[in-house]
Structure 1
Amino acid sequence: MAHASQRLPAVAGLFYPADPHSLHAQVAGFLSAAIPAEVVDAPKALIVPHAGYIYSGAVAASAYAELVQRRDVIRRVLILCPTHRVAVRGMALPAAQSFITPLGAVAVDREAWLAVREMPGVIVDDLPHAEEHAIEVQLPFLQTTLDHFEILPIAVGDVDARRVAAVLEARWGGPETLIVISSDLSHYHPYRQAQWRDKATIAQIRQLDATLLCEQACGAGPINGLLLAAQRHNLKPHLLDLRNSGDTAGDRERVVGYASIVFSEECDRAHH
């Protein structure tokens, strides 16, 4: 297999430990320390932060801990993230067919990749993925909590939320398919102001209001796509953790907000 078909780590040793033993120990530690606000039945989608692990790893872990009881069920993970380094019109799939982390390789779901590649607004380009941390930092958590899974990594740029929702709909699947949206909340406000802003954003997400702006969440594009799909599928959001870098490992003058939200399918509805 040609080496170009692998996407190599960009932020190992920066956002998380490059040594596999240290990385596994850190992720396992976050997961065992996670005390969820509630236990969520059959998680279908997660919104999790993507900063360096010392800043947001504990917050992300409270969502990932919910997957452990589904470790042998979930086989495919659609991971959507914003683009931090390369501007994208539409949504970019990587050409690479596996993503490497210190914990090993994660294969891209070829069938899903071929199907989504044909959809409106989707391009194939390795460039937006090459230096992007927002998907990469999620992979060690998935590698630790799930058994056998493949991913469909999508970098979401400037695109209508309905197109994002259409991609999610096309690969919605059943309990074997999980959706992960990688997003932080507000950026670089003083501590109290950030808390106030992030609480308002969470209230909007709870109402499945798909009009988030980039100032509210860097992953507003993919979140809005998820919220549109959540309306159709009666998904219910559960907030498991809401903190910011001032609570974890940063100063309180300019903070970044992090939330851990799990969406579950409400099975008790007799009629849709």
Structure 2
Amino acid sequence: MATASIRPAAVAGYFYPDDPHVLQAQIGEMLSTAVPLEAVSAPKALIVPHAGYVYSGPVAASAYAVAAGLRDVVRRVVMLGPAHRVPVASFALPAAQVFSTPLGPVPISRKDWLALQQRADVVVDDRPHALEHCLEVQLPFLQTILDAFELVPLLVGGASAEQVAELLDTLWGGPETLIVISSDLSHYQPYAQACCTDRSSVDQILKLRTGLDHDQACGAMPINGLLRVAARHGVEPHLLDLRNSGDTAGDRSRVVGYTSIAFCESTSHAASARH
């Protein structure tokens, strides 16, 4: 495969270790010490944070620990996150066919890559992806908890919540598909204020109430889109972790908020599906 079709790791050695053995050990420790607030199984979708592992890794690990039971089931991961560095009109797919991390290559789903290009709101552009961290930092966790899987990586720019919802509907799939929404919560508030702000934002998510803004979460639009489709697909949110950088590795004067939330099939939906 031509080198040009590989998107190399951009933040290895910065957001997470670039040595594969050190990286594996760090992820293994975070997963083994994760204690999710709720016991859930077989999540269909996750909201996870995307800062450096020293800051948000333990929070992300609480989501990936509960998804580890899907190792033999999930073969396709749909990942949406905000474009931090390069403006994107609606959605950006990479031209690259492989994302590389210190743990090895992750292939892009060619079928989805081709199909998504037929949409007027999707552009194929490596530039927004080249230095973007929000999707990349999820990959070593996914490579650890899953067997071989294909990736559908999309950066979200000016898309509306309804556009995101419609896109997620087309990519929803069955048990073989896991949806990962990459987002932090509030940015650079004092600790006590951030705790209050983030708790309110999480309560809004747990009630499936759309309308999150970018002050509440940098991935507000991907989250709002997921909330729109969650009810009609019969999945319910469960809070796994809610902390901030003041709890993990930073000072408390200006913190960034993190949460992990799992969306699992509701018991009522599961029961009705059996009739």
1:130 matches 2:118: no
Q: C-alpha separation between the residues in 1 aligned to 2:155 and 2:166?
A: 15
- On the 8 A contact 1:116/1:167 being kept in 2, the answer is no
Q: Larger deviation: 198-207 or 109-118?
A: 109-118
* Maintained 8 Å contact 1:82/1:134: yes
Correspondence 1:159-238 to 2 at 5 A: 159-238=159-238
What SS is found at the alignment partner of 1:233? coil
What residue in structure 1 maps to residue 148 of structure 2?
148
User: CA RMSD for the aligned pairs?
Assistant: 1.0
Counterpart contact for 1:72–1:148, Cα < 8 Å: no
TM-score by length of structure 2 reads: 0.97
1:248 maps to amino acid: T
Give the CA deviation at 1:268.
3.0
Matched length? 272
Summarize deviations over 1:43-92 as a string: whole Å, max 9, x none.
00000000000000000000000111110100000000101111111000
The CA distance in 1 between the partners of 2:264 and 2:117, in whole Å, is 27
Deviation at residue 119 of structure 1 after TM alignment: 2.0
Aligned partner of residue 154 in structure 1, secondary structure: strand
Structure 1 length-normalised TM: 0.98
Q: Is the 8 A contact 1:85 1:131 kept in 2?
A: yes
Question: Does residue 57 in structure 1 map to residue 37 in structure 2?
Answer: no
CA contact (8 A) 1:43 1:265 kept: yes
| Helix, strand or coil at the partner of 1:133 | coil
Q: Please say if residues 41 and 69 of structure 2, whose CA atoms lie closer than 8 Å, have aligned partners that are also in contact.
A: no
Q: CA deviation at 1:169?
A: 0.6
2:158 alignment partner in structure 1: 158
How big is the shift at 1:267? 4.2
SS of alignment partner, residue 135 of structure 2: helix
**Structure 2 unaligned regions, length at least 5:** none
Instruction: Please state whether the residue corresponding to 1:80 is helix, strand or coil.
Output: strand
Note if contact 1:120-1:163 (Cα within 8 Å) is conserved in structure 2: no
SS in 2 for 1:134: coil
The alpha-carbon deviation at position 175 of structure 1 amounts to: 0.6
- Return the alpha-carbon distance in structure 1 between the equivalents of residues 262 and 117 of structure 2: 27
1:86 touches 1:128 (CA, 8 Å); kept in 2?
A: yes
Native 8 Å contact 1:97 1:107 kept in 2: yes
User: Are the counterparts in 1 of residues 9 and 101 from structure 2 also a CA contact under 8 Å?
Assistant: yes
Deviations 1:102-146 (A, max 9, x none): 000000011111112212311111000000000000000000000
Partner of 1:248: 248
Q: Within 2, Cα distance between the matches of 1:224 and 1:120?
A: 21
Gaps of at least 5 residues in structure 1 are: none
1:41 shift after superposition = 2.3
- TM-aligned CA deviation for residue 39 of structure 1: 1.8
Corresponding position: 1:116 with 2:123? no
Question: Take 1:119 and 1:224, find their aligned partners in 2: how far apart are those partners?
Answer: 20
